[in-house]
A = this chain, B = another copy of it.
Amino acid sequence: MRPDVLLVDGEPISQLSALDRGLHYGDGLFETIACQRGRARFVALHLKRLAKGCERFGLCAPDMKSLREKIDQLVPGDASALIKLIVTRGRATARGYRPRGDEQTTQILLRYPASPEDPGLAHDGIVARVGELKLGENPALAGIKHLNRLEQVLASRESDASGALESLLFSSSGRLISGTMSNVFLVRDNEVATPRLDLCGVEGVMRSVVMREAARAQHPIQERALWRADLDAAQEIFLTNARIGIWPVRTLEGRTLTPGPVTRRLQQLLQPLLEAPADA
């Protein structure tokens, strides 16, 4: 799947400077925004996370109003699409790791045509596995959707061999963190928990929407440190990301899990938001 639109700093060109710090160091951020029914879903939440990342790394944040307009212009009428936004610190103005402060951020927008999600995955659930790779822990990077994604690349190469659609990853000290491209939620005795992402992992936009909707429905989700024992004790497991919404896990490492009542209830709460013509 290749992008059908590619804009670098607003221009319809497909190249960027080989001096860009995004290339040299992964010094930047990204967002993947699902487009459906003529809108960029949860775009305000995506831009809020982007702004948080800019602040954390000392990147000069783009003008969010104008960026949102650019994104809205890319939304195809009624077709599904994914918009990927990359913001880097920009072209290096000197050699070496240290930014000089006079860099001008680079903004890249890519639009990928997308088939609507297969509803069978959300209904029946997916096969998942536990990844071998352990994520490094660094509070300075935790939560942010930054461009240092070699761990995810290596984890996704691992899962080639199995039929699993997603790998669940633990951190170097044994904390359950997330899937390679999703956040994870565990249900036990009607309580829902999701890993606290203070050491690593990405604070997904769909994760925050699911947590918000659960709280509104008087079924708040616990955000806390989770371990292998919590995963093994879970009666229901589900995954979220901006594209997929909620996917139940139906098989994990040979263990069969039936998509259960709590997962179903959260899917029902989420569904109207995924399909709404404007963000709630």
Contacts and interface: CB of A to CB of B under 8 A. Distances in A.
Given A138-B134, A138-B136, A18 B16 contact: yes
A22 interface: yes
B98 A153 contact: yes
Contacts of A15: 15-18
Interface string A189-201: 0000000000110
Interface size class of A (residues with CB under 8 A): 35 or more
A133 interface: yes
A172 B138 contact: yes
A3 interface: yes
A136 B88 CA distance: 22
Given A6-B19, A23-B86, A23-B147, 19 more contacts: A14-B17, A18-B110, A19-B110, A21-B153, A23-B108, A24-B149, A25-B152, A26-B148, A26-B149, A27-B149, A96-B181, A97-B153, A98-B157, A136-B137, A136-B172, A136-B200, A148-B149, A148-B151, A172-B199
